[in-house]
Copies of this chain bind each other. A is one copy, B any other.
Amino acid sequence: MTRRVEILRRAAEVFSRQGVANTSIEDIANEVGIKREGVYYYFRSREDILLEIVLPQSRTLLFNFSNIIESKRPVMERLHAAMRNHLESYDPGYVEMAVALREDHNLNGRGSGKAERKSADRKKQQELRRVWKDYTALWLRLVKEGQESGEFDAALDAKMVAFGILGMCNWLSRWYDPRKPVPIDEIVTTFFAMVSRGIGAPHDQGAEFAKLA
């Protein structure tokens, strides 16, 4: 593990434990066991570190989801794969995602600092917002596709359904405790059961779930 990667990993742990707003560069340096200057050698600011943690994770999440959506599998199977893809981001090794989802209001570019520094941060923030926007849009597309094919109940509002699923999954960032991990597989099974029955077209509720669970 390079020093840069180590700083990112430790920073993610501190952020997750005490919140970005309550974390100083000094806290991060202490966690790594180096001086503040050692952190500044690699990163411009706390926001810079946060973005470097969150962006790669978010890009991967989106990339994998795109592949799932584009695959030719039945929509109920793609829903299952998409929920698994999202929930596995919370694997004990991935506290980063939890941080990301909990802290997005800290990424609005109001931090102090020189103009050029802010501008570099802003570009990354814009990319992050774009990634999340695309991710949400893809969820909406999956739901609508399922409604059009008759596998999902078309009487439900597609956008709210998408937000509902995202909410269930994203809320893990609040209750999931990496120190007392619940197997992600169990969460996927329970949440997929709830969602597949919850939004499945009335005539085949449960059937698809029984096949996949």
Q: Which residues of A contact B (CB under 8 A)?
A: 18-22, 102, 104-106, 108, 110, 153, 155-157, 160-161, 163-164, 166-172, 174-175, 182, 186-187, 190-191, 193-200, 202, 205-206
- Check B22–A106 contact: CB distance below 8 A: yes
- A83 vs chain B, min Cβ distance (A): 11
Of all chain B residues, which has the CB nearest A111?
Answer: B22
Contact sample, A vs B, 17 pairs, CB 8 Å cutoff: A18-B110, A21-B105, A22-B105, A156-B193, A157-B190, A161-B190, A163-B171, A163-B175, A167-B167, A167-B170, A167-B171, A167-B174, A171-B171, A196-B198, A197-B199, A198-B199, A205-B205
Of all chain B residues, which has the CB nearest A199?
Answer: B194
Of all chain B residues, which has the CB nearest A21?
Answer: B21
Contact of A171 among B108, B166, B175 (CB under 8 A): B166
- A175 vs chain B, min Cβ distance (A): 5
The residues of B that contact A153 with a CB separation of less than 8 Å are: 193
The residues of B that contact A186 with a CB separation of less than 8 Å are: 157, 160
Give bound CA distance, A42 to B102, whole Å: 30
- A162 vs chain B, min Cβ distance (A): 10
- A170 vs chain B, min Cβ distance (A): 6
Q: Report copies per complex.
A: 2
The residues of B that contact A172 with a CB separation of less than 8 Å are: 163, 167
- A193 vs chain B, min Cβ distance (A): 6
The residues of B that contact A163 with a CB separation of less than 8 Å are: 171-172, 175
Give bound CA distance, A191 to B106, whole Å: 29
The residues of B that contact A155 with a CB separation of less than 8 Å are: 193
- A167 vs chain B, min Cβ distance (A): 3
The residues of B that contact A160 with a CB separation of less than 8 Å are: 182, 186-187, 190-191
Give bound CA distance, A186 to B155, whole Å: 12
